[in-house]
Amino acid sequence: MRVSGVYCAFVLAMTAGLCFAPRALADGKDIQRLPTVASEQPLADTNLLPASYDQAPPQGDETAPIGSPPPCLCTPEPCNQCCCAPCKCPEKPAGCFPCPRINLLNPSWQLLLGGYLEMDMLFNSARPVAPGVPFFLAPGSPVGNNQATFDAHARQTTLLAAFVGPQIGNFQAGGLVVANLFNDTVIADRYGILPYQAYGDLKNESWRFAAGLQADIFAPLLPTVLPFSYLISSGNVGAFRGQLRVERFLQLDDGSQVTITAGLSDPRSTTYTNQILSEDAGWPNIELRTAWAVGPEEPVGPIKKRPFEIGASAVVGQLRTVFGFNAVIADVWGLSGDFRWRFTDRFGFSAEVFTGQGLGTYGAAVFQTVNSVTGQPIHATGGWLELYYYLTECVHTHGGFGIDDPADSELSASQISLNRTIFANLIWDVTKSLRVAGELTFRDTNYLTLTDNDGVGFQTQFQWRF
């Protein structure tokens, strides 16, 4: 069995090498010509695929069309024996990217690597939580001590891997992995590796199925701010969690589309904090969203968007909080509305509102899911608004505010009763590879019995994209 396994690995490695290596040496194209995820040209162009696997080019043929399957090196063994992937249970591979590219163990897939290297420097006149990624302010000093802080870090450096796979039936396979240099949570002031998206999907013009670590369906919009906190706990809700989802795309006409999304999610998310008293109650959360988008599709980052969209979403679930021998079951629910509109090529805005209870794992109620004494769920209401304007194609400014207001009557003495943020930034995309930005903020955090706090913050950011 060990010999068979070694032989299998050897065959797979040789297959991948023979598929890509000859063309890579002969092609010599510049790396800048690699397609981006937002390219209008599909990454897996079906026109580049051979008509059938019977037309596979001979081994080492450098003139074979892009997207041709690798030569078959299999032995005539039964299907349950070691054999290279393209020969048994055949599938149409994704079209090969121009050189240079990465050879994968499964030659039916293609891989794009990217990300950005980032340096952030933050000055705050009042102590933020967490250091370097401000969500809210710590209680103020009752005797007026200075609380100014300075942080400089590269923890928002991000690595991503986008996968383009074969056609499976009439679905295109794909996937995405994104991680940065935070530790196990964003709150922890340490370096590490924190994956916050890692999923695979199957998609066509009408359906999409995805499974893995994904952004929440509930309240999915994000404001354009410099810190990774994204106004979470200041009116924005949503995190990243394990999730199985299905999406249905309904094309009303050439200029509009309705998207219906449903999913089963992990009740807890540790992306932002691991200081949550509650645990799951044995059931997944159910998340739903319906959105109507109007206008021509245009690439925005790795996906395509229409200039106008309005959506509504909801979440239901349960959490259990254990106090000694007693367990309190709390119902979780939330309703959210989101809206974005790009009026012109230069100006637009986006907004989101929410209400619900037990939404601390989504960043609502300033991360406070339940009363820390009784275990009862906390109601909260909030939202955020952002306006943006492009001074030039490369210089743009974004400004707005967010507010998160937990119900005071449901809090324990030491909990936060209000948190809000006002922000304005200026972002200069010097080139496609270099960004320089600055952001000014005013934060105000109120406590039920502890000393309230407010302060001004300023953040500068240097980002190298690759």
Give the span between the Cα atoms of 236 and 243, in whole angstroms. 20
Q: How far is CA 155 from the centre of its chain?
A: 16
Give the span between the Cα atoms of 76 and 270, in whole angstroms. 49
Chain segment 278-309, per-residue pLDDT in tens = 889 999 999 999 999 999 988 776 677 899 99
Tokens representing 61? 């043929």
3-state SS, one letter per residue, for the chain: CHHHHHHHHHHHHHHHHHHHHHHHHHHCCCHHHCCCCCCCCCCCCHHHCCCCHHHCCCCCCCCCCCCCCCCCCCCCCCCCCCCCCCCCCCCECCCCCCCCCCCCCCCCCEEEEEEEEEEEEEEECCCEECCCCCCEECCCCCCCCCCCEEEEECCCCEEEEEEEEEEECCEEEEEEEEEEEECCCCCCCCEEEEEEEEEEEEECCCEEEEEEEEECCCCCCCCCCCCCCCCECCCECCCEEEEEEEEEEEEEECCEEEEEEEEEECCCCCCCCCCCCCEECCCCEEEEEEEEEECCCEEECCEEECCEEEEEEEEEEEEEEEECCEEEEEEEEEEEEEEEEECCCCEEEEEEEEEEECCHHHCHHHHCCECCCCCCECEEEEEEEEEEEECCCCEEEEEEEEEEEECHHHCCCCCEEEEEEEEEEEEEECCCCEEEEEEEEEEEEEECCCCCEEEEEEEEEEEEEC
- How far is CA 75 from each of CA 52, 83, 297, rounded to the nearest angstrom? 20, 7, 48
Which residues neighbour 453 within 8 Å (Cβ) at sequence distance 6 or greater?
A: 126, 127, 137, 138, 139, 140, 147, 444, 445
Which is higher by pLDDT, 423 or 78?
Answer: 423
Number of neighbours of residue 96 by Cβ within 10 angstroms: 22
Chain segment 80-114, per-residue pLDDT in tens = 333 344 455 667 777 777 777 788 888 889 999 99
Where do the domains of the chain lie?
120-145+210-465
Q: How confident is the model at residue 27 (pLDDT cuts 50, 70, 90)?
A: very low
Q: Of 37, 245, 274, which is closest to residue 161 (Cα–Cα)?
A: 37
For tokens 């802080």, the residue is: 149
**What pLDDT is recorded for position 302?**
63
Which is higher by pLDDT, 57 or 157?
Answer: 157
Q: How confident is the model at residue 272 (pLDDT cuts 50, 70, 90)?
A: confident
Which is higher by pLDDT, 72 or 205?
Answer: 205
Tokens representing 57? 């080019």
201-211 average pLDDT score: 97
Chain segment 110-144, per-residue pLDDT in tens = 999 999 999 999 999 999 999 999 999 999 999 98
Q: How confident is the model at residue 370 (pLDDT cuts 50, 70, 90)?
A: very high
**What pLDDT is recorded for position 170?**
94
Percentage of the chain modeled with pLDDT above 70: 79
pLDDT at 8 exceeding the cut of 70: no
Number of Cα atoms under 13 Å in the Cβ half of residue 176:
17
Query: Facing residues of 293 across strands?
Result: 257, 309
Dihedral, 101, 52, 70, 203 alpha carbons, nearest 10: 40
Q: How confident is the model at residue 185 (pLDDT cuts 50, 70, 90)?
A: confident
pLDDT at 69 exceeding the cut of 50: no
Asked if 245 and 261 count as a contact pair (C-beta separation under 8 A), the reply is yes
327-337 average pLDDT score: 94
Give the span between the Cα atoms of 31 and 103, in whole angstroms. 15
pLDDT at 374 exceeding the cut of 80: yes
- How far is CA 430 from each of CA 34, 52, 343, 346, 396, rounded to the nearest angstrom? 21, 46, 25, 18, 11
Q: How far is CA 36 from the centre of its chain?
A: 17
Q: What type of residue sits at position 314? A: A
Question: In the predicted model, what is the mean pLDDT of the chain?
Answer: 83
Tokens representing 164? 């383009």
120-145+210-465: CATH number: 2.40.160
For tokens 């959490």, the residue is: 319
Tokens representing 69? 């399957």
Q: How confident is the model at residue 275 (pLDDT cuts 50, 70, 90)?
A: low
**What pLDDT is recorded for position 88?**
58
61-75 average pLDDT score: 43
pLDDT at 336 exceeding the cut of 60: yes
Q: How confident is the model at residue 271 (pLDDT cuts 50, 70, 90)?
A: confident
Phi, psi (deg, nearest 5) at residue 384: -150, 160
Which is higher by pLDDT, 163 or 274?
Answer: 163
Burial of 47 (0-12, 13-18, 19+ CB in 10 A): exposed
Sign of CA pseudo-dihedral 188, 189, 193, 195: positive
Sign of CA pseudo-dihedral 464, 221, 243, 107: negative
397-417 average pLDDT score: 97
34-43, 212-221, 354-363, 394-403: the lowest-pLDDT one: 34-43
**What pLDDT is recorded for position 269?**
87
Query: Facing residues of 110 across strands?
Result: 164
**What pLDDT is recorded for position 105?**
85
Percentage of the chain modeled with pLDDT above 90: 66
Which residues neighbour 180 within 8 Å (Cβ) at sequence distance 6 or greater?
A: 155, 156, 157, 158, 159, 193, 194, 196, 228
**What pLDDT is recorded for position 279?**
87
45-54, 177-186, 207-216, 361-370: the lowest-pLDDT one: 45-54
Query: Facing residues of 156 across strands?
Result: none
Q: How confident is the model at residue 152 (pLDDT cuts 50, 70, 90)?
A: very high
Which is higher by pLDDT, 427 or 322?
Answer: 427
Asked if 165 and 92 count as a contact pair (C-beta separation under 8 A), the reply is no
pLDDT at 332 exceeding the cut of 60: yes
170-175 average pLDDT score: 96
